[in-house]
Amino acid sequence: MPELPEVETVVRDLRPLLVGRTIGAVRVGRHKLRSPWKPAWTPRVAGRRIDAIDRRGKWILVRLAGDATLVLHLGMTGQLTVHPEPEPLADHTHLRFPLDDGRELRFRDVRRFGSATLFASPGALAEHLNARLGPEPFALEPEYWFAALRGTTRCVKAVLLDQTVLAGVGNIYADESLFRAGVHPGRRANTMTRTQAESLRCAVEVVLRRAIDGRGSTIRDYIGGSGLKGGFQEEFAVYGRTGQPCPACRTPIAVARHAGRSSHHCPRCQK
């Protein structure tokens, strides 16, 4: 599922297809996503031009003419793609936004952990995002990051996954970043040295950049906004590689449980 690199890929794919187009209507499927589409939102979307498509953390922001923003989250299995309007609907398509060029934006989500919400004003949108998201990984201040780690006894993996500390990292890229930095996922955050904190901050940046270059990772369901799968799964060092040799020392990759998630790591390289 979509973490920052996958969401960034979707946004980059959709931007040229959607910006400048006008949404003609909203078609809602029988099953609700995480929360139901409110009928009151439809007139605020239908007839509106799309001014911009942005990403914040794992959230997709479709900025509409006027003050409203359509906010989408892909959850675990969400797909957001553009199709010719007559094209048959795939199973689990829950929302459709026909456009003025004969195509249609479709939100498909097998597990329905995704969400689609409308925020009527920039203030309401900011309130929602600010309550949930810390800084973007590419704008992470070293001092802020070090202080965030030193200020808690939680394990480092839990801090990486905490969207209010750092926005956009999920289970795959947390594990890959920790391996790259040589830090064990169960390491207590408040025992990290300044050097290790900086090493981890850089590792997160490098891993995310490379994953974006690879158009994200497809484990099973993920596809970009143009329908293409990702390629970064071919470059995983540890994620999903339990029992296979560590790329650095050949020790079998182990899996442990941290913050309720599987943590793939090398027991020899990561301290």
Kindly indicate which of the ranges 18-26, 96-104, 142-150, 212-220 contains the residues binding DNA, using the contact rule CB under 7 A. Answer: 212-220
Q: Residue 21 in contact with residue 64, Cβ under 8 Å?
A: no
> Minimal CA–CA distance to 230: which of 242, 221, 243?
221
**Other CB atoms closer than 10 Å to residue 139's CB: what's the count?**
8
Looking at beta carbons only, is 47 or 231 nearer to DNA? 231
Residue entry with tokens 């965030």: 148
Residue 250 interacts with DNA (CB under 7 A)?
A: no
The correct pick among 28, 52, 61, 76 for binding DNA (CB under 7 A) is 76
The correct pick among 221, 237, 238, 246 for binding DNA (CB under 7 A) is 221
Q: Residue 52 in contact with residue 125, Cβ under 8 Å?
A: no
Opening angle at CA 48, ends 29 and 70, nearest 5: 55
The correct pick among 45, 155, 183, 223 for binding DNA (CB under 7 A) is 155
The correct pick among 172, 192, 208, 269 for binding DNA (CB under 7 A) is 172
Residue 134 interacts with DNA (CB under 7 A)?
A: no
The values of phi and psi at residue 189, to 5°, are: -60, -35
Q: Residue 129 in contact with residue 56, Cβ under 8 Å?
A: yes
Least CB distance from residue 68 to DNA, whole Å? 20
Which residues have a catalytic role annotated? Answer: 2-3, 58, 261
Size (the chain), residues: 271
List of residues contacting DNA (CB under 7 A) = 1-3, 31-32, 34, 57-58, 73, 75-77, 91-92, 110-113, 132, 151-155, 158, 161, 163, 170-172, 217-222, 233, 257-262
